[in-house]
Amino acid sequence: MSDTYLVCGLGNPGSKYKFTRHNVGFLTLDKLALNLNETINKKMFKGLYTDARINNKKVVILQPQTYMNLSGECIAHFKEYYKIEIENIIVVCDDINLKPGNLRIRKSGGAGGHNGLKSIIALLGTQDFMRVRIGVGGGGLSSTSGHVLGNFAEDEFKIISEIVEESVLAVNEIIYSNLDNAMNKFNRKLDT
pLDDT in tens, 178-191: 898 889 888 865 54
Q: Catalytic site residue 22?
A: yes
What tens digit of pLDDT does each residue of 115-144 get?
Answer: 788 899 999 999 999 999 988 776 555 556
Backbone φ, ψ for residue 40 (5° rounding): -85, 90
Identify the pLDDT of residue 73: 94
Catalytic residue among 22, 77, 114, 147: 22
Residues of the chain with pLDDT under 70: 1-2, 138-153, 188-192
Give the model's pLDDT for residue 192. 40
For the sheet with 103-106, list strands across it: 42-44, 47-54, 57-64, 5-9, 89-95, 130-135, 103-106
Q: How many Cβ atoms sit within 10 Å of the Cβ of residue 168?
A: 23
C-alpha span between 19 and 35 (Å, rounded) = 19
CA distance 5 to 60: 6
Q: Specify the pTM.
A: 0.89
Structural domains in the chain? 5-186 (3.40.50.1470)
- Which pLDDT belongs to residue 191? 45
Q: What's the confidence (pLDDT) of residue 7? A: 96
Output the pLDDT for position 178. 86
Burial of 37 (0-12, 13-18, 19+ CB in 10 A): exposed
In this prediction, residue 69 carries a pLDDT of 87
